[in-house]
Structure 1
Amino acid sequence: MIFLGLDPGLIRPGFGLIKIKDYPYYIDSGYINIIKINSLSKKLKFLYSGISEIISNYCPSEVAIEETFISKKKNIFKNLKLIQARGTALVCAANHNIPVSEYSSRLIKQCLTGSGASNKINLKKMVYSYLNLRYINSYDALDAIAVALTHYFKYKNKLNNKKYEK
């Protein structure tokens, strides 16, 4: 079973892939570089194509996407564009008939570090620890791997609860 974690965005949306056996194994991670494209519709098309290519190459069984955090400090138009990027990722997964789960940033931090208010450095340490990693090429990829790991822990918890219900 392979989980694809996505950290949607319109500049450097991250992706992270983990394989599930008895515990999670790191497969790949990175980001889709959209920086040099100016048109919103072309950015969304490029994002869709990038995610579609990742799905075609790795055939994930499930996709986990970080929910959009609406910042009062950010320009409303930036928030709306980020929501459109997330919608593009959702549609891409749906068009490939892959189930999607969504997780808030706070839940991801809580699940991996024990605190929903944790910082990037603590999150990075825990991701490295869980997957026995030494280096990830970007924070966008790191966030996406954290989303995939959160999905793994939620999935594992759901399986364990079903065992006890019987």
Structure 2
Amino acid sequence: MKTSDTELLTEAGQEITYSFEVTNTGNVTITDAAPVEAAFSGTGELSGFTPATATLAPGDVVTFTATYTATQADVDAGELTNTATATGTPPPGTELPPVPPSDVDIPGERTPGLLVTKTSDAELLTTAGQEITYTFAVLNTGNVTITDAVPVETAFSGSGS
């Protein structure tokens, strides 16, 4: 069984700890038991497992952990999905049956936002024909990447362009 300490993906840099519970459901001891990543949507690197492997007598349970630091691409995607199975070595002459996969899906909270600050190089309009340069600073205040951000003039009292 696979779980996560995180219920909601909210920002790049968020650290997520995955726990992989591996149970020996058979009647023989399994050596070198370990989780196996089957599918992971994360765009970064999942750490190695702790412990790396374990020996499991029948009925034994070991919890392995791995950590992941969310990337901006993960937040932009809106979710993280992770599927794992397990493997191990049974005694000679026996074969480990297929291990069913276990999934963890962490939904993302995407909150786009922009803030614009407009300034000009003139403090006072003094003459006709005076050239005024406006500067628009656009700030991404959300947690997702915004592409093609441009200021939009909503009101302008000048008679020129």
The structure whose RCO (Cα within 8 Å, separation 6+) is larger is: 1
Q: TM-score, normalised by structure 1?
A: 0.25
Rg: which structure is higher? 2
Which has a greater percent of helix? 1
Which has a greater percent of strand? 2
